Amino acid sequence: MSLTRRDFIGAGAAAAAGLAMARTASASALPDSPVGRRRGAAADNRPAVVSSANGIRGVAKAREMMLQNADPLDAAIAGVNITELDPTDHSVGLGGLPNEDGVVQLDASCMHGPTRRAGAVGAIEDIATPSLVAKAVMDYTDHIFLVGAGAKKFALEMGFKEQNLLTDEARQIWLKWKANHDPNDAWLDHDDDVKVQFTHGTINMNAVTAGGDIGSVTTTSGMSYKIPGRVGDSAIVGAGQYCDNDVGASGSTGRGEANIKIAGAFFVVEQMRNGASPEEACLRALQRAIQMTEARLVDERKRPRYDLTYYAIAKDGRYGSANIYSGLQFAVADARGARLEPCAYLFKESERPRGPVPMHALSR
């Protein structure tokens, strides 16, 4: 993992489950189901990669790199770089939706299983690939987490290129939000048919090589229109992502505040360490997050008014993902190629609370 600064920049540019689980629609997770059998396949599927659905291009790239003996973290970061540099994806990197002041602030963290090292950056501005800055923190410093102006200064010293991340499209989305979010401000409201966009994204990617080495990374532009300086779970090792080379890796997308409180990625990996399959571990983490959710964000049946998704991969190549509600997909690439598969879930989409939702409840 030792690289010169020039090589680095060059490479960068180029608690058990309760009865509720058993009786919900997440029955697809059971070992005797087709989904359970597929996800139970192990070592012959390695190298393998799992990520959020917006990483479908990235998982293919990461697996191809590992077939050429690439390091799992290098492969995973190359995978998420595709999304970070895509201006049409408004949940990460270039084109990410800004904070309430119109400034794009990015978060990312990564872990390298073989060396047990980690790196992270929070609220970094003007750098499109925070995942690579997080890796630079890991590779070149004795620290794990740099934030704000210090993180940007470090990135520039490492040779990263400064650029304006607020694209014209993202700026227009922000202006629509600004005009509509407060009826008493001095901004003219848009027509009723204007839909204000909120990010529900982020990208998490976890990779395991043919030999069982593991890497994980999560990167995001964070909760859209957030208070400046807000850092979500993506930058927090153990919450947004976590990797243990003896067990596996996990990460999340969705409401970061709900995930931080349970150290969700660490929780998933520990569940796998204790014998749970990746999918079972993700479902258990969702249940724990709901248990720790404040009353304003759930209805009378304890159904959350937000989304949260976990992704996990085991050392032997098994994988899984689970969302609170049905209908979501995740990306995976293994011996059967790159594809989208349905997430396991706790509740049917029809059970999601309706009516007014706190503005930030749905986004990271």
Q: Which residues of 52-61 are buried (b: 16+ CB within 10 A; e: fewer)?
A: bbbbbebbbb
Instruction: Name the nearest CA neighbour of 80 among 106, 102, 99.
Output: 106
Answer whether 235's CB lies under 8 Å from 208's CB.
no
Cβ count near 162 (within 10 Å): 12
214-220 and 106-112 strand pairing: antiparallel
Dist. CA 293–CA 253, nearest whole Å: 16
Instruction: Name the nearest CA neighbour of 46 among 353, 303, 334, 331.
Output: 334
Answer whether 120's CB lies under 8 Å from 237's CB.
yes
Instruction: Name the nearest CA neighbour of 92 among 355, 82, 100.
Output: 82
Name the 3-class secondary structure at 192.
Answer: coil
Name the 3-class secondary structure at 71.
Answer: coil
Terminal CA-to-CA distance of the chain, rounded, Å?
31
Dist. CA 88–CA 226, nearest whole Å: 20
Name the 3-class secondary structure at 363.
Answer: coil
Catalytic residues: 202
